[in-house]
Homo-oligomer: A and B are copies of this chain.
Amino acid sequence: MVGIRDVARLAGVSTATVTRALRGDPSVTAATKAKVQAAAVQLGYVPSAAARALSRGHSNLLGLFVPDIVNPFYAQVAQGLEDRAAEERYHCVIASSHLNREREQQLLTSFQDGTLAGLAATTVGSDESFAAALTATRGPLVLVDRRPRGFNAPLVRTDNRKVTRHAISRLFAMGHTRIAMISGPREFDTACQRLSGFRMAYQDAGSFLPDSYIRHGHLGEAGGHAAMRELLALPQVPTAVFCFNNLVTVGALTAIRAAGLKIPHDISVLAFDDMSLFPLVDPPITAIAQPAYEMGRAAADMLLRRLAGEQEVTDIVLPATLIERESLGPPPAAERITPPAT
């Protein structure tokens, strides 16, 4: 393999000069830079990520900030990020704020000393002081899953609206007209996009969506459980429920079981985010699977490209997939209407 010594020999300069020339150090004259670059091109020399890191003086540590490491979605994102980073000899640390804005900001503050070469983040904060803390970590920033309002860092996400619209249209095709959604916090753009896809499917079907069928602001198993109980207490109980994420689904499933209802006979359940145990649940749960591992890899890739000097790194939108199992079925006979012609 061609090394920095080979480039130095051919260009007739020291290895230190090669390093400085290749990173564009102003102490190196234009003539020397040209000579070094010509030698590097001639020999096909590609500085390793580790060597680049050394020459740049930043660490080989990438950070991943997640709101909740107990959510397996983020664990898979972390694994993808780690695997891609390891290929370029970067390592990763994960920090979880447990959905606590104050903790998230303090964590960011811990990294203002330049410990991290770059940061991939799914944040809970979005205000100005948070933005300042995020910027102060200095290295490049990539957003994962969602973008806080007003942030223009590149984002890797899934096509929330499109896949939700498609999945909900399946429920309408089965004859449902009373489909509810347990949604997340209104300030999460993921929640907004999934809700938007949900509303679009209602419009496509020409159905009326009562406000009571949308439960905003729910997170975690407890949130899903509470929202499902509210839905089951409505005068007109929905015949299907769409859960905004994996943990919300687990809570909703528990509430449905506690109420003695059978899935899908009494109520159909559609989850956003797959879980490895969903195929083994009674009944197996139909889910919209995000490519979480690939999202992590893509985020690492975007950071590595920024660290390699690329200025323009644009958003990446990866497709999600509807995995049909057995938790969707026609509505109870008493509620059934003729499905619209397709």
- Chain A interface (Cβ < 8 Å from any Cβ of B): 59-61, 63, 69-70, 72, 75-76, 78-79, 82-83, 86, 89, 91-96, 98, 100, 103, 106-107, 110, 115, 221, 250, 253-254, 257, 275-283
Contact = CB atoms under 8 A, between A and B. Distances in A.
B70 A98 contact: no
A86 B103 contact: yes
Q: State the copy count for this chain.
A: 2
B79 A98 contact: yes
B82 A78 contact: no
A164 to B, nearest CB: 23
Given A253-B280, A280-B282, A96 B98 contact: no
B82 A76 contact: no
Contact of A282 (B110, B115, B282): B282
B91 A107 contact: yes
A83 B93 CA distance: 18
A141 to B, nearest CB: 17
A70 B74 CA distance: 9
A79 B83 contact: no
Q: Which 10 A-B pairs have the closest CB atoms?
A: A282-B282, A93-B93, A277-B277, A94-B94, A70-B75, A69-B75, A280-B281, A91-B107, A93-B95, A91-B110
B93 A94 contact: yes
A276 B82 contact: no
Given A69-B69, A93-B94, A106-B91, A257 B280 contact: yes
Contacts of A79: 69-70, 96, 98
B98 A83 contact: yes
Contacts of A93: 63, 93-95
A61 B281 CA distance: 39
A69 B78 CA distance: 8
A319 to B, nearest CB: 22
B106 A94 contact: no
Contacts of A250: 276-277, 280
A221 B69 contact: no
19 contacts: A60-B110, A63-B93, A70-B78, A72-B75, A79-B96, A82-B96, A86-B103, A89-B106, A91-B95, A92-B95, A94-B95, A115-B115, A250-B276, A250-B280, A254-B279, A277-B277, A277-B278, A277-B280, A280-B282
A264 to B, nearest CB: 14
A119 to B, nearest CB: 12
Nearest to A281: B280
B280 A254 contact: yes
Contacts of A59: 110
A99 to B, nearest CB: 11
Contacts of A100: 86
A98 B83 CA distance: 9
A88 to B, nearest CB: 12
A245 B279 CA distance: 19
A226 to B, nearest CB: 16
Nearest to A283: B282
